Chains A and B, each alone.
Chain A
Amino acid sequence: MLMSGAQILLECLRKEGVTHIFGYPGGAVLPIYDAIFDCHDIKHILVRHEQGASHMADGFARSTGKVGVCLATSGPGATNLVTGIATAYMDSIPMVAITGQVRTSVIGKDAFQEADITGITMPITKHNRLVKRVEDLASAIAEAFYIAKSGRPGPTLVDIPLDVSRNQIEFDVEKDYPKQVNIPSYRPAGPSGRVPDLQMKKAVQLIAEAERPVLYVGGGAIASGAQAEVTALAERTNILVTTTLLGKGAIDESHPLALGMLGMHGNAYANHAVNSADLLIAVGARFDDRVTGNVDKFAVGARIIHIDIDPAEIGKVMQPDVPIVGDVKNILTELIKQVQPREATAWNDQIMEWKEAFPLVYPNDGNLYAEYAIEMVNELFDHDAIMATDVGQHQMWAAQYFKCNRPRQWITSGGLGTMGFGLPAAIGAQFANPDKRVVCLSGDGSIQMCIQELMTATVYGVPVITVIVNNRSLGMVRQWQEMFYEERYSAVDLQASPDFVKLVEAYGGVGMRATTREQLREALIKAKVVTDRPVVIDCVIPTMEKVYPMIPSGQSVKEMMLRHDLEQVKASVHADGETWSFADEERVLEQVVEVGASGAE
């Protein structure tokens, strides 16, 4: 059948099982949108900003493991995807970005809305390609999907010039779409790859010899779908498991062997465990600087087994004693068979003692805090909600207090730390999981970076519940300025934000404000029954709250600050009674509370 490039594209997407495209039209993608007009089985979601489209595709992918797809026009459309593509790249999320490009005949001539998007995205895609002939389009799409989801996943980009999507050729998807992609220069490890026997033997031996082992599990375990294997290995060996920000959900966090997150804002007991360990089993984790702090002082006494699908991660930051390259699930399955069962030892008791000595705490003074809001989400949604976050203090509080019982329940921008990610990612996750509730935890800074997607949520009836932890400041930066820049608060006081309750109502959603624990609880209960539109809860918390524990950047467990440590430091430094708040904080707070009293009804 004679088909245009645009029609071929849709046939290929259909063949790849794509159900949703998050996109925004424009001149260079007019033929593609013309084909979408006739396409009823793939749902196109019209966003309000291309960045939203990329984060939605990302949230879709993170919550399912499937490849997320976003679509934008040439030039500014394509460059608006860049933040979302970089976000996906840093966290190894499978995504295919499709961009329009100016006609092949004017490429390189500074045509209207021309941008070299393959050049721009070279360092933030796993692979990208400009398709210059319609004859090459189907294979380019097949390769893009194959590369995005195989091996260590990541985003790919296909740039399609206007004439390529308009030109017609004879095409039969059954015959002409590659059933198998074969790229001689690309041979990623797969779920059925070879397990290196010698390395496995060494790993088994190290585990048998270890007195103080710890499992350190990252996003690779989620990507590989290895929750059962991580849990089984932990149970067979009684080795406690700490997870990275992206590894949350790799083991049920209520499991007695789960230690929660480690690192800069990780649990003190998890950090103590890693610091005192004599064996660290790194599983699909990459020794990120937010985990290690000062690498020279990280897990100094520990031998390291490093399991990762990407050979380039082995030795990138720390040299392991036993490197094992392969699919995490595949390797762990074999490791469980070979490893000797091990009873819980005094080491397990020691960690449990630390757990009791250094619990996560926040003020129990009856006031509303972010931590309480997160605990309420856990409780009121029966530990079943998908949690998406933005970036900042609220993200770290959520990482500490939100308890995942399964993988893909936790959606956060870890590597890139993208403010504005949360709301669109939550919307993407909701499209992928219509039967689940999706909560977006955001801040008054982050939410304003992609807030326009509330309109998308209203239009499509997406009942995402956004809890804005509102401290009227850019809290994480403010925390650093307070602690490390002598309280020289520079450009962190937001001074004014829109009335979020009225704003979400203007967008057609439901707005509520909570300034007390009771109001928050009520608001969440009310939000639960809203199933056809977005809900925003403006959750007002004190400005000066900080995230603890904290290991200052580039330092080690020795320098870890706990909540009470810093309060003592502050008390001694500021014995003169100097106040800690912004000059106008109280005034702002009063206003908010007044408005809140009526808004929460």
Chain B
Amino acid sequence: MSNTIVAQLQQQHTITVLVDNHPGVLARVAGLFARRGYNIESLAVSVTDNPEISRMTIVVNGDHRVLEQITKQLNKLVEVTKVVDYTETAAVERDLALIKVNAEAHHRGEIMQIVEIFRGRIIDMSDKAFIIEVTGGTEKLDKIIHLLEAYGIREMVRTGIIAMARGSKTASRTGRDAE
């Protein structure tokens, strides 16, 4: 029994936070996570279709109570309009990675096959390295990164997860309020 509880406890949550597009809002949100001891796995921020609203997608680890506190504390920030938890919603989650991988002449064929299978793209090529662009969920990206490690990854960057509910629901209007 204790195992199932532990499994429930350490769930990864993807939450979307709609905030006023003011300077300093990111600092407020990040500061809240820091001082209340919540760990951010990833964070992606950009402006939305409404230029006055920014959208943050934050991936956090924690049990149900931690998540409840996070959403409630976020909702207390005056500039936070909405907090949506996608954990139990059918949602599309995407991460994008740029991977600079060693590509000696005799490996190029293999690497291009891997990129093909993962529906990535080679967007830069030099005599020693490729830059590969690949999008997908966290697991898919973890897998291709693992495969490419065999050739030697020189540099890598990921955007962090962004998420959107399937169907006609939107975060700003009909999305389920995490509170």
Interface set of A (CB-CB < 8 Å, partner B): 118-119, 122-123, 126-127, 130, 147, 183-186, 310-312, 314-316, 319
Contacts and interface: CB of A to CB of B under 8 A. Distances in A.
Contact of B78 (A118, A183, A314, A319): A183
Contact of B76 (A122, A130, A310): A310
B135 to A, nearest CB: 31
B28 A315 contact: no
Contacts of A311: 72, 75, 179
Contact of B79 (A123, A185, A315, A316): A185
Tell me whether chain B's interface is mostly helix, strand or loop, or mixed.
helix
Contact of A184 (B35, B76, B81): B81
Nearest to B79: A185
Contacts of B75: 311-312
A311 B177 CA distance: 14
A185 B78 contact: yes
Contacts of B32: 123
Interface in B58-88: 65, 68-69, 72-73, 75-82
Nearest to A185: B81
Nearest to B72: A312
Given A122-B27, A312-B73, A316-B69, A127 B78 contact: yes
6 contacts: A122-B31, A123-B31, A147-B78, A185-B78, A312-B69, A312-B75
B133 interface: no
Contacts of A118: 24
Nearest to A156: B78
B69 A315 contact: yes
Nearest to A184: B81
Contacts of B69: 312, 315-316
A122 B28 contact: yes
Contacts of A127: 77-78
Nearest to A122: B31
A185 B75 CA distance: 8
Interface residues of B, number: 22
B93 interface: no
Nearest to B179: A311
A506 B122 CA distance: 81
Given A122-B28, A315-B69, A316-B69, A185 B20 contact: yes
Contacts of B65: 315, 319
Given A312-B69, A315-B69, A316-B69, A186 B78 contact: yes
Nearest to A151: B76
A316 B179 CA distance: 14
A85 B72 CA distance: 23
Contacts of A123: 31-32, 35
B27 A119 contact: yes
B50 to A, nearest CB: 12
Interface in B6-43: 19-20, 24, 27-28, 31-32, 35
A546 B79 CA distance: 47
Contacts of A147: 78
A387 B75 CA distance: 36
Contacts of A312: 69, 72-73, 75-76
Contacts of B31: 122-123
Interface in B125-161: none
A315 B24 CA distance: 29
Nearest to B70: A312
Nearest to A312: B72
Contacts of A126: 78
A314 B179 CA distance: 12
B75 to A, nearest CB: 7
The 3 A-B residue pairs with the shortest CB-CB distance in the complex, in nearest-first order: A312-B72, A185-B81, A127-B78
B73 A185 contact: no
B164 to A, nearest CB: 21
